[in-house]
Structure 1
Amino acid sequence: MDGVHICVKVKPELQGMYWNRHDTTSFNIMAICDLNMLFTYVWNGAPGSCHDTAVLTMAQDGDSEFPLPPRDKYYVVDSGYPHKQGFLAPYRSSRNEVIRYHMSHFDNGPPPKNKKENFNRCHASLRSVIERTFGVWKKKWRILSEFPRYDIAVQKRVVTATMGLHNFIRISNYFDEDFVEEVRHTNINNEDFESDINDMETTNIADGDHMTNTRDNIADMLWANY
């Protein structure tokens, strides 16, 4: 799960609401994808000024069919989302400890120094699938990267339509250069992320504590095999 900003044309009186940190007006689109680079859910049209956590709250409060994962499953999310039941976020740096996360930190620096950094490296590698999915989608549909000539309602339909076409191309197994280029970078060894969390005790554990225990258990297993 991740968010991506798409340019939108709005009336002057609405610009403050849609103005983002990159000094443009945009939607903050929240999407979920699977490891095959297919979009499985989208919350379309949140104002660009909204934080990712706020968009997630909108989706959960505004969509009665929001696909919450089962108790023993979770979405892989970045630190912009809450670390709670069903949402597995990376370890964050603290005042007393700097913990690297992004793949570039490890590609251009020393290897992981502890279990938290090793977990973050694996987490970032797995979560890169959503970033690459966004990359294919925006590269193929240039209309998403240009300042739109349409109003908000039409632009929202453009987002939905192009995501549907993205999935159609992927499912149809057409030879597509954009997908071929990105798929080469998504050969993730999923065995590294297998954990027997079905056997974990989950009763009477607060959401955040449950996910912290889950993350620590995965980090311990990854570090033991590192």
Structure 2
Amino acid sequence: MDGTHVCVKVKPELQEMYWNRHDNAYLNIMAICDLNMLFTYIWNGAPGSCHDTTVLQMAQQIDTEFPLPPSDKYYLVDSGYPNKQGFFAPYRSSRNRFVRYHMSQFHSSPPPRNKHELFNQCHAFLRSVIERMFAVWKKKWRIFSDFPRYNIQIQKRVVMATVGLHNFIRISNFMDADFADIMTETKNNQNFEHDIGDMDATEIADGEAMTQIRDTIANMLWENQSNR
């Protein structure tokens, strides 16, 4: 699960709501995908000024069919989302401890220095599938690269249409240059391998449970690494 921004044309009185840090009006698109770079869910239309956590809350509150994972499964999310039941976030840096997460931070730097960084490296590697999916989607549909000439309702329809076409191309196994390019880039960046193995009171309890699961996996990864 992750979010991405696409330009949108809105009325002047709404621009502040849709403005983001890039000084333009955007939609914040939240998506869920599988490991085959297929969109499985999309929340289309949150203002660009919304934080990713806020978009997730909106989707869960408004969409009665929001697809929560089974009790023993999790969505991989980045540190912009809470680490709670069903949503698996990485370890964050704190005031007293810097913890690397992004794959680029490991490419030309020392290997993971502790169990938290080792977990984060594996987490980032698996979660990068949605970043690659967004990259293919935006590269193919250049309408997202420039400021749109359409109003917000049409722009939302454009988003949904291109998502459907993206999935159709992927499912159909067409020889597609954009997918081929991103898969080649991915193979070139795969320079490590690990075996991962088979706020109200409720949110606090969920967070504590997920923290325990994360710590257990991190300990297993670090122990396996140490025994090699």
Shorter-chain-normalised TM-score: which range? Answer: over 0.9
**What is the alpha-carbon distance in structure 1 between the residues aligned to residue 122 and residue 111 of structure 2?**
12
- For 1:213, the equivalent position in structure 2 comes to 212
| Unaligned runs of at least 5 residues, structure 2 | 199-203
- For 1:193, the equivalent position in structure 2 comes to 196
Is 1:222 matched with 2:221?
yes
Letter in 2 for 1:194: G
Map 1:164-179 → 2, pairs under 5 A:
164-179=164-179
SS state at 1:84 partner: coil
**What is the alpha-carbon distance in structure 1 between the residues aligned to residue 17 and residue 27 of structure 2?**
10
- For 1:43, the equivalent position in structure 2 comes to 43
Map 1:90-129 → 2, pairs under 5 A:
90-129=90-129
Residue pair 1:129, 1:186 contacting (<8 A) in 2 also: no
Q: In the comparison of the two structures, how many residue pairs are matched? A: 217
Displacement, 1:193? 2.7
SS state at 2:164 partner: helix
Displacement, 1:194? 2.4
Of residues 43-52 and 98-107 in structure 1, the stretch that sits farther from structure 2 once superposed is 98-107
**What is the alpha-carbon distance in structure 2 between the residues aligned to residue 185 and residue 193 of structure 1?**
23
**What is the alpha-carbon distance in structure 2 between the residues aligned to residue 72 and residue 145 of structure 1?**
38
| Unaligned runs of at least 5 residues, structure 1 | 196-204
**TM-score, normalised to structure 1's length?**
0.92
- For 1:138, the equivalent position in structure 2 comes to 138
Q: Deviations over 1:72-126 (max 9, x none)?
A: 1100000000110000000011111111111111112111100000000111111
- For 2:58, the equivalent position in structure 1 comes to 58
SS state at 1:95 partner: coil
Q: Deviations over 1:134-192 (max 9, x none)?
A: 00000000001111000000000000000000000000000001111112345679972
**TM-score, normalised to structure 2's length?**
0.91
CA RMSD of aligned residues (A): 1.6
